């Protein structure tokens, strides 16, 4: 809590939000929560920093996919254990466009997979950026507003149920990865024809 209230904590928050959107596997949400918990009056400011840094990181992930997928992006996706899921992500990006980016940005689904894949398939940059802003603002700004308005009661609740809340958060993060992984295998086992079956053709035949 003491470190979370340190002035440099804001820079660390921005740093982790940036890299998490492009290649880092650990979400920055616990750090944001601790910072808001330590200084509820600055919660909206912290959430805004997290949103901006995360969107910029998403654009960096997009650039990796667009310019360096074969050299760098594929290795990052493989490191995350999502190589087989990348074509499915590409499919949903083609089918749903902004909605797929918004869903990934605002849920525990691995956002970095979507940012890199969006770049790899050459998704419209403006559409990607607006959807990323909306999704990241949703997941971060809601936290900031809640702490700003209900700082003391939320702090008391978290102090009381910290273990349970941490467990639920970890389950959601792991569940997001598993859900995306299972999407790749589910259609194959069912043997059903779907537009996603043709989602392996992306920019430069990278996926």
- Dmax (CA) of the chain: 55
How high does pLDDT run on average in the chain?
80
pLDDT of 110 > 50? The answer is yes
What's the Cα-to-Cα distance from 75 to each of 29, 55, 60, 69, 70, rounded to whole Å?
A: 25, 22, 15, 8, 8
Of 151, 149, 61, the C-alpha closest to 105 is 61
**Range picked from 67-81, 85-99, 113-127, 189-203 for highest mean pLDDT:** 113-127
Q: What is the pLDDT of residue 148?
A: 84
Range scoring the smallest mean pLDDT among 64-78, 93-107, 143-157, 158-172: 158-172
Q: Comparing 100-104, 131-135, 201-205, which segment has the lowest mean pLDDT?
A: 201-205
> Which of 108, 107, 77, 101 has the alpha carbon at shortest distance from 174?
108
User: Given this model, what pLDDT does residue 13 score?
Assistant: 93
Query: pTM for this structure?
Result: 0.76
HEC profile of 146-206: HHHHHHHHHHHHHHHHHHHHHHHHHHHHHHHHHHHHHHHHHHHHHCCCCHHHHCCCCHHHC
Higher pLDDT, 66 or 171: 66
């Amino acid at each position: 809590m003491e470190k979370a209230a340190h002035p440099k904590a804001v820079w660390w928050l921005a740093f982790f939000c940036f890299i998490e959107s492009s290649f880092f596997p650990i979400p920055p949400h616990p750090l944001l929560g601790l910072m808001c918990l330590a200084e509820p009056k600055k919660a909206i400011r912290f959430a805004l920093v997290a949103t901006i840094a995360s969107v910029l990181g998403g654009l960096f992930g997009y650039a990796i996919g667009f310019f360096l997928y074969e050299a760098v992006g594929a290795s990052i996706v493989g490191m995350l254990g999502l190589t087989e899921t990348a074509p499915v992500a590409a499919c949903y990006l083609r089918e749903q466009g902004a909605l797929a980016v918004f869903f990934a940005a605002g849920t525990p689904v691995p956002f970095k997979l979507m940012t890199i894949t969006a770049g790899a398939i050459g998704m419209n940059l403006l559409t990607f950026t607006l959807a990323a802003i909306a999704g990241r603002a949703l997941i971060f700004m809601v936290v900031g507003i809640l702490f700003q308005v209900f700082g003391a009661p939320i702090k008391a609740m978290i102090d009381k149920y910290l273990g349970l809340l941490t467990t639920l958060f970890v389950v959601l993060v792991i569940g997001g990865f598993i859900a995306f992984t299972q999407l790749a295998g589910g259609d194959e086992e069912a043997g059903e024809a779907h537009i996603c079956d043709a989602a392996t053709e992306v920019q430069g035949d990278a996926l």
